[in-house]
Every structure is written in structure tokens, then in C-alpha cells.
Structure 1
Amino acid sequence: MHLPGIVRIIRPANATISGATAILAYFIATGTLIPEVLLAAAAALLITGAGNTINDACDAAIDAINRPDRPIPSGEMSMNAAYAYAALLFIVGLSAAFYTNPLCLAIAIINSILLILYAKILKGTILYGNIAVAYLSGSIFLFGGALAGIDGLIITLPLAGITLFGTLAREILKDAEDVDGDAAGGATTLPMAIGISRSGTIAFGSAVVAVIVSFIPVLWWGLPYLVGIAVVDIAILRSVFPTIRCATPACIRDLGITTQLKYMMYIALLIFLVASAIDIFMPMK
């Protein structure tokens, strides 16, 4: 089924995962759910969609080479329409965050500004853009936890850290895949500056840090979590390690590593949910 451009441009799966992650983060922080969590989820979904939309608008020239099927280069949506659509999504998303609490609203405002800066400036810089995306991904856990106040935010810090370093590895490898298009679009990315092999080494190092951080929740979730996350950790390291030997964008693409990492992180989210539910109904003694 071919979704219309107005839906595809927000990356509906990605945006929905953001909303679901906000709910999950609150559940992890408190062991309960309240009606306000739906507002937090809506804010996360809409602001993520707005960021994806404005990013596509700013990347139209690059996407014409790397992703010609996307709504703007394919002609389904004009650049001006995309900017207006992004503005609407930001406004509605921030309005939803306004009815949560001041801490959530502050994170939503900071993230909205950072999403715009990323699309306009940071994406074309060496590593700063990757770090921005990694923070934004991890901060969804902080956003959901913040609905429970400072204590909730602190509880979700390790999960934000896992997501941050895992996403950083994926973003670096995505840049390695897209070297040709980025060069044509005038961007300067880490793989263009230091080479694909060295970038693969840095991505692998970031994945190792994510794996190390992933063991922190064992302290409160115990053996069930350890078993599940260990399987994912091993899969992540086995997938990322071969990129160290890649010297061309085609090599990275042929490995399919960025897609694998995306789904592994989704599985990690499921493990977080199951482990937190087990802890609530069958707490460690």
C-alpha cells in the first residue's frame, strides 16, 4: 500500500515509535499510566513528525540523489507546503506538551529548536548533526519520564543513554551509506572527513558504549532483563563490527546494517517494556 506524501513525509512508523516510547518511559518511571500520558505521546509523535518533515524540505537536493522516492523529490509535495506542514505539526505538538507539565514543555521546546537547527545547520556539519539526532532519540525517554517529575527523568537516564549511543552508531553509518549524495548536496559529514573505515570504527565504539550502558538497568530489573538485552547486545556488536573493514558506501549498504540497527533498537524497546512489567507484577525480593 502506497501511503500519501503527507503521511510518508512524517515517517509515520518513526513518529509513532516516538509517541509509544514516551508512554513506555512514563510506565517505566512510575509503573502506572495516567490520561496525561496520551498528551505526552501526541506531543512526541507530532514534534518528531515535524522534524522529519522540515528535514526533508531542507534535504530536497540530496534526497533527489539518495532518496528520489520521498514526497518532495518525487513531486508529491512542494517545498513550501512541507515547511508550512512542519510549522503546523510543531505548533500542535507544543500545544499538547503545554498541557503536561513545565519540565516536559521545556524538553519539547528545546527539542523543537534543535530539530530545526539540525535540518538547517547541523546536518551539514561533522559529527555535531549525528550527536544532535542521537540526543533527540534518547531524549524521548527523558520526556516521558519527566511527566513524572525530576525523579521520573532520573530513572529513565540509563535508557536515554543506551538509545543515544546506539543511535549515534546508526547515524554515522547512515552518513557512510550516503557519502555520494551528501557530497553532491554540499554536506560535510564524518565519513567524508575521515574515511568510511575509520567512521565504522567510531560507530562500533559507540555501539560498545551503548552495550555497556545497557547493563545498568540489570540492577533493578534483574535476570529476565539481562537475558533479553544480552541477546540484543550480541546481535548489535556482531552486526556493526564488519563495518570496520568497509572502505566504500556500497560496502556499508550491502551489509544492511542501518536497517538492522533500527529493528534491534525496536526489539530493545520491547525488552524494556517486558522487563518493567515483570518488575511491577513480579518484583525482585
Structure 2
Amino acid sequence: MNKTQGLISLLRFELPFSAGVCVVMGQILALGMFASVPETILGFFSVFFISASILVLNDYFDVETDKINTPDRPIPSNIVTPSEALLLSIGLMFFGFILSYLISPIALLFTIILSIIGFLYNKEYKQSGLPGNLMVSFSVGMTFIYGGVSVGLFFNNIVWFFGIIAALIDFGEEIAADSMDVEGDLLINSNSLAIKYGKQVALQLSSYIFFFVILLTSIPFILNWLPAVYLVPIAIMDISIAYSSLRLLKSSNNEDEGRKYIRWIYLGSTLGLLVFILMRLLYV
């Protein structure tokens, strides 16, 4: 691997790409159609660069741990120096700020907040347990809301609804995933809920969060934000979450099975969201 390949691999392309897709989804949720090409490009790439910057920063701060766990990563394998990784992270962040500024001052503020959260998480809170879980899930939810911001619809009810839902689902998944990774987390001095209070307590808390999500999905219909036709994608999401959460509670002694049901929650929620967006494009 040469230096260029090493620098590119630091970006972990699929993750910032997913963040950019969440922004585009937020735009569609807000508008009921695709945004204009300039709005789509600016929205997608501003968050893509910020997300990539945070991921590069993760490798910068994790270099000592990576020397043991993943010595083939670009920095511990000496393909990329820490200073080069830091400069790349700053450059990516700079591009993200420029693109978000071209959207609006509020969009720039959002990307600054995301960058600050990413920096603090990487430097101080990765092993903190609950605070770190909250920071990650908050950032996930913000990508959807940023989609609304990028098309001038900051206060759109549907965007905020799905932003909160996405944050809570990710929060529950983070806690549940920690309960499946106790042995590895002990080696890095993690302060996860599963380590502090036990796997079963962590899984119970994650299940409470998931069932709270199911309760929240009724709000758009109670408040008449959405017609009844949208019960179809919401039902797909709720059934997947409910079934997988119940199975997850019984998997505290089987990490592989637990990870499977965490994956099912993610896939079921994603499928429900995609069906919702498709219907949004068709029915507005």
C-alpha cells in the first residue's frame, strides 16, 4: 500500500458515504421530493467531508491501540505518519465547513457542532460508556435534521421525527452492542453500562429504548402529520424492532445471536425508512 492508498483508507469511505445518504434522506423527508442538484451535492459532500475528518481523527488518536489490535492500519504500519493524518483531517474538515457555509450559516453551525462532538468523542469519550453512546447517537440523528436544514426547512416535523427516531435506535443499538463486546471492552478499559452493571441490565435498558421508539412512532398519526397510508412503513419498522428486541433480551449469553438481532433491528428500521421515503416521493 502506498501513501495515497493509505490516506484514502483512513477515510473508511462507506461510513461518510452513509452519513451523506442520511442527509439526502433528510432532504427528501422534508421536501417530499429530491432536492435540487446543487442542494443535494452541497448537503451530501459537506457532511461526507466532516464525517471523513472525524474518522481520520479516530485513527490519529487510536494509534497506540491500533498498534496492538490492527497493526496493518495506515498509521501503525508507518504508511502514513500521525502528522499527515492530522493534516488530512483538518483539510477534510475545512472543505466540509466551506460547503456547509455555502448552504447557510445554520448549516455551518451544524457541521461545527458535529466536528466538536467528533473531536471530543475521539479524544476523551470513546471508552466513557453512556456519554460516548449519547454522542454517537446524537450525531446520527443530526445528519437527518441537517438534511432539512440544507433545504431551508429546519423546523420540519417529519425530519425532526425521523432524526429523533434514528438517534434513539442508534442509542439502543450502541448499548446492546456494548453488552456483546464486554471481553474486548475490558481490555481497553471501557466504562460501558454492560461492564458497570452487567449484560442483562444493559440489554434491558436497550429494550426499553426500542419500545419507547415504537410508542413514539404513533405521534405523527395522533397529531395528523401523516395520513394512514404511512402506517405501512412504520409497521415494518415497529414489528422488526419489537420482535428483535424481545429476542435480544434472551441473548445475553450468546454474543453471536445478540449481534444478529441487533443487525435485524438496524435492517428492519432501514427497510421501513426506505419504504417511507419511497412513499414520500410518490404521495408527498
1:89-128 equivalent positions in 2, closer than 5 A: 89-128=92-131
Please give the alpha-carbon distance, in whole angstroms, between the structure 1 residues aligned to 2:243 and 2:75. 36
1:234-245 equivalent positions in 2, closer than 5 A: 234-245=239-250
Structure 1 residue aligned with 2:193, among 190, 194, 207? 190
- TM-score normalised to structure 2 length: 0.85
Please give the alpha-carbon distance, in whole angstroms, between the structure 1 residues aligned to 2:265 and 2:281. 24
| Count of aligned pairs between the two proteins | 276
Name structure 2 gaps, 5 residues minimum.
none
Residues 180 and 258, structure 2, Cα contact 8 Å, conserved in 1: no
Please give the alpha-carbon distance, in whole angstroms, between the structure 2 residues aligned to 1:56 and 1:189. 21
Corresponding residue for residue 14 of structure 1 = 15
Report the secondary structure of 2:103's partner residue: coil
Deviation at 1:92, TM superposition (A): 1.1
Report Cα offsets for 1:182-201 as digits up to 9, x if no partner.
22222211211111111011
1:69-218 equivalent positions in 2, closer than 5 A: 71-72=74-75, 77-149=80-152, 151-218=154-221
1:209-228 equivalent positions in 2, closer than 5 A: 209-218=212-221, 219-228=224-233
Task: Give the CA RMSD over aligned residues.
Answer: 2.6
Report Cα offsets for 1:123-182 as digits up to 9, x if no partner.
221301101111100011111111233554444111111101100011112222332222
Residues 107 and 149, structure 2, Cα contact 8 Å, conserved in 1: yes
Please give the alpha-carbon distance, in whole angstroms, between the structure 1 residues aligned to 2:97 and 2:25. 20
Report the secondary structure of 2:120's partner residue: helix
Structure 1 residue aligned with 2:280, among 268, 276, 279? 276
AA paired with 1:241? Answer: L
C-alpha distance 76-260 of structure 1, shift in aligned 2 (>3 A): farther
Deviation at 1:202, TM superposition (A): 0.8
Corresponding residue for residue 283 of structure 1 = none
44-53 vs 144-153, which moves further: 144-153
Please give the alpha-carbon distance, in whole angstroms, between the structure 2 residues aligned to 1:69 and 1:264. 34
Name structure 1 gaps, 5 residues minimum.
281-285
Please give the alpha-carbon distance, in whole angstroms, between the structure 1 residues aligned to 2:79 and 2:175. 29
- Percent sequence identity is 25
Residues 16 and 45, structure 1, Cα contact 8 Å, conserved in 2: yes
Structure 1 residue aligned with 2:56, among 53, 56, 75? 53
C-alpha distance 7-178 of structure 1, shift in aligned 2 (>3 A): farther
Please give the alpha-carbon distance, in whole angstroms, between the structure 2 residues aligned to 1:141 and 1:197. 31
- TM-score normalised to structure 1 length: 0.85
C-alpha distance 240-83 of structure 1, shift in aligned 2 (>3 A): farther
Residues 162 and 210, structure 1, Cα contact 8 Å, conserved in 2: yes
